[in-house]
Structure formats: C-alpha cells, structure tokens
Chain A
Amino acid sequence: MAIEIQHLNVYIKENQILKDICLTLPEKQITCIIGPSGCGKSTLLRTINRLIDSTEHVRLEGKVLVDGKDIIGSGHEITELRRKIGLVSQRPCPLPMSIFDNVAYGCRINRMYKKHRQLIYNVQKQLQAVGLWDEVRGRVRTSATRLSIGQQQRLCLARSLAVEPEYILADEATSALDPISSKTIEDLFVSLKSQYSIIMVTHTLHQALRIADNVVFMYLGEVVESGPARQIFEQPQQELTRKYLSGIFS
C-alpha cells in the first residue's frame, strides 16, 4: 500500500504553509523531496505522521491516505499510525538511556514482545541491520549519548526499524554528518528499500541523484513537479525545476 495525498492544505495561524498538495508516494521505493529551505518539506513529513499536532494553531485540510485510510481528522489511532511510520530526524537524538534501551524503547512502549529473549533478539537484529552491532556489542548497556554522531544516527534508524514500521520518513538525515557516515546512511537506505517505503527530504541534489527512484520538487509550499527520478533530472517539464536543477549539471 502506498501513501496518497489529496488536496492537502496546511495552515499555521493565518499562513498557508502547504498549498493543495497532491502526491502519490509509491511503496518499496525511495522518494526524495527536494526544494529550497523553508518550502515546506519538513511540514509535509510532519503531517504524514501527525507530529504536526504538537505545533499550535495548525489547521489541516484535505486527505492523507495511509494504507487506504484517511489519517487527517480525529478518531484515528495516532500512536499506531506513528508506529507504522518511522522517523529519522536531522539531528540524531538518542533518548537519555542505554544503547539497548534506545532500540528496545519502541518495542516496550508498544508491548511488542512477551518474552525478554525475543526483545533481545530483535534489538540485536536491528543493530545488525544498521551495521552497528559489531561496533557496540560489548557496550550495549552504556549510555547512547557517548556514541559518535554518525553512530547515533544509525542508532536512531535502528530504533525506528525496531517497531516494525512500513514507511520511513527521513528529514535531511545526513546533513549533520561527516561524508563517510553520510555515505553509510545513504547505503543503508538503499539496502532497506526492498522492505520499506522510504520518503526522504534531502538537502543535496547529488544525494537525490544517487539514490532516488522518485523525486518531488517543492517550491513555496507547492509541489512543482513530481515523477520518476530519471525523468525529473533529465527532462524536467517545468521551467522552475530546470532552474533549480541547473545547480548540479553546470
């Protein structure tokens, strides 16, 4: 199942932040959202997992269908929705607990396992999936804040994967990292796309060029153009997109 956004408008106070967004985010692919900063990329992601609820004076209009169900409006089980949609944020933020507890946090919150053994197994599995297991195996009970920043970001990814999401949202997940860590995360996303639908906001066009299957170009709260990566990069239909992309090819 995919995420389908229909005529989404987001207002904060009197300002319209997102304007009539219509999008389909296909599953088991990487969709990159690009655009200048302040154009509403983060707001779009925060609307999809309803984190925008914690912002004050927000008004949402339109539909966001996740697995066919509209998640806008009340009556929807938001904690369940958020479990299903993982988030990796710009700055890695490990919770104030040990490495193990960080990964186990979501499982415990959602009571996913009856037996402790299963929990341990799952934590190890996710740490392996992000290539962190070998680096931390001797110290999973020590504080997560002592990891390097690149390791922290991978830990955050493992933490999201541990609650068995179907989608992963990443908001400039590599922008705070050094080039090597950044590359590691990028490769991870590529390897994960067979199991998860990944929607990532990226600040570098090169990254989008390397890993995107689909690209969405946003400008001033509107979607200017969206489609398969090749098409957008090679034959953009809109003048605005062409101008923005000219950065890479010149």
Chain B
Amino acid sequence: MVKDKLAQSVMLGLCLFSILMVVTIAVGLYLKSSPVLENKSLWSLLSSSEWRPMKGEFGFFPFIIGTVWVTVLAIAMAFPISLFTAIYLTEYAKSHVKKFVFPALDILAGLPSVIYGVWGVLVIVPWISNRFAPHFVDFSSGYTILAAGIVLGIMVIPLLVSLFIEVFSSVPMELREASLALGATRWQTTHKVVLRKTLSGVAAATVLAVSRAMGETIAVLMVCGCVIGIPKSILDPGYPIPALIANNYGEMLSMPLYESALMFAALILFAVVLVFNLLSRIILYRLEKTQQ
C-alpha cells in the first residue's frame, strides 16, 4: 500500500513537472531578456530597424518581417496542396491508394530539418538562381525568402495533411450520406457539408502549422540568405528570427545585452507560438469531443 501511495505521488509530481515546464520556459526567457527590456521600450525593440549589437541598438523589425514573409509564403504553398490531398484521402481514396500515400507522408514528416536544408541548397537555390529569378531580376544568388518559403512549405505539408485528415474524420459518415442521398456529388458534399462543418478545425490546423513554420530553424537558416534588412520582394534574402538566434548565439556571450536581446528574440518566438498553439489546440479538442 505504501508502495502504491509513493508511486502515485511520484507520478503526480512528474505530471505537474510537465505542466510547469511551459511556465518555467516562459519565466526563464523573460528573466534573461529583462536587461534589454529595461534598456529599451518594447515598442522600439519591435518596430526599430536598427541592428547594431556593438552599439547596443536592437531593432527586431527586419527579423519579424523576415519571419512573416517566409511563413506566409510557406503556408500559402502548403495549404492548397495539403487541403486537397487530405480531401482526397478522406473523401475519395480507396484503402489501397491510402496504403501508398501514407508511407510517403510518413517519410516527409520524419525527415530532419537539416535534410530539407541540404535539398534546398542543392535543388531549390540553384533553380531560383538560374531558372526562376532571371525572369524578374538581373541577379539573384538563390538564397532568398522564396527558397526558404518553398522548403518550409514542404516541411509543413505532412503536418497539415495529418491535422486536416483528423479534422475531416470528425464529421460523421451519416452527414455525408444525408447529403449524397439528396443527389449531391462527392465534391458538393465535401465543400457544402464537410468543409462547412469543419471550418473552425481547418482554421485551427492552419494556425498550428503557422506556428510550427515560424519556429523552424536549420532548414530556413541554410537557404534564406541571412542578410539583415527589410526585404522588398520574395527574391530578396531574408533573416527570420530563429535564424538570428542560431547564427549569433555562440558569439554573444561576451556581451550581456546582446545575449539578452537574443533571449528576447526567443521569447517573442515562444510567446507567439504559445498563443497560436493554445488557440488551435483548444479548438481542435472541442472538435474531437463533439465527435465522440
């Protein structure tokens, strides 16, 4: 009996530890970034474009813009592909087709970030530099926001597809059959009943994918060009926040304010991802509950 009690409290402790981890990360990052927050107002940190660590100028605007560009581009490419793939898999595909597609998605989901980075450097960057960009600009190295967007887009496809499939599967079969029985085609049923019913779920899944895309580091770092500045088009290089942290973390230890600024970057990332995640997860939980 004593053994039982002890085990129970250990397990409860571990549970609380897991929950507290979220809080710990937030507090830790906040404490670390407080020097730079005392030095500058939050607004000036977010809106300034001056980035001179040596002089104590930390303007995050170019990095925020870089993150937004890359993420929007990635989602814009991944969303339609994932949506139609998921619709095909839930509404149309026979099981023998699924047998081929799921392993492919598994592989896409399992490949590490750095592998996508290698692929981006070897395939996408030269393609942009030699084939795509010459139509629009005189010269492009290929290391651009577009490259980062494409690579990132591919990386979120498996996540989006699996979330969409989960969302669409929450629609009861009878509802589809009710529509079909009235003479609707598959597609009419899909967009007038299934999509309509799961609009919030589709939105939640997309938000979740956005948050995943925003934090992706290595692959983006390898192809984005890493030039500080506000990009004017997708053929300019960009510098998203995760890349900033990864590139500079090693060298900043000698300068407390610089370290604090990078921790602030991590805090921004964490805060945005946290909010997006909470929002979408809560919506998805609701959906799952109505299904049961």
A residues adjacent to B (C-beta < 8 A): 49, 51, 54, 56, 79-80, 82-83, 85-87, 89, 91, 93, 95-97, 105-106, 109-110, 156, 159-160, 163
Contact = CB atoms under 8 A, between A and B. Distances in A.
Contact of B180 (A51, A86, A160): A51
B101 interface: no
Nearest to B173: A54
B181 A109 contact: no
Contacts of A95: 175, 178-179, 192-193
Interface residues of B, number: 20
Contacts, number: 65
A96 B188 contact: no
B181 A51 contact: yes
Interface in B149-188: 172, 174-185, 188
Nearest to A83: B183
A51 B89 CA distance: 19
Contact of A93 (B94, B172, B183, B185): B172
Name, among B95, B181, B185, B192, the residue most crowded by chain A CB atoms within 10 Å (CB to CB). Answer: B181
Given A56-B95, A109-B188, A82 B196 contact: no
A83 B183 CA distance: 5
Interface of B: 94-95, 172, 174-185, 188, 192-193, 196-197
Contacts of A106: 182-184
Contacts of A91: 174
A86 B181 contact: yes
Instruction: List the 9 shortest-distance A-B pairs measured between CB atoms, nearest first.
Output: A83-B183, A106-B182, A87-B181, A96-B197, A79-B183, A93-B174, A82-B183, A109-B184, A93-B178
Nearest to A163: B182
A11 B175 CA distance: 25
Contacts of A163: 182-183
Contacts of B94: 56
Contact of B183 (A54, A56, A96, A110): A110
Nearest to B172: A93
A79 B181 contact: no
A156 B178 contact: yes
Contact of B177 (A51, A83, A86, A110): A51
Contacts of A156: 178
A54 B180 contact: yes
Contacts of B181: 49, 51, 82, 85-87, 160
Name, among B172, B176, B177, B178, the residue most crowded by chain A CB atoms within 10 Å (CB to CB). Answer: B178
A93 B172 CA distance: 9
Nearest to B96: A56
Contact of A82 (B176, B180, B193): B180
A80 B183 contact: yes
24 contacts: A49-B181, A51-B177, A51-B180, A54-B176, A54-B180, A56-B94, A56-B95, A80-B183, A82-B181, A83-B183, A85-B181, A87-B178, A91-B174, A96-B175, A96-B196, A97-B196, A105-B182, A106-B182, A109-B182, A109-B188, A110-B182, A110-B183, A160-B181, A163-B183
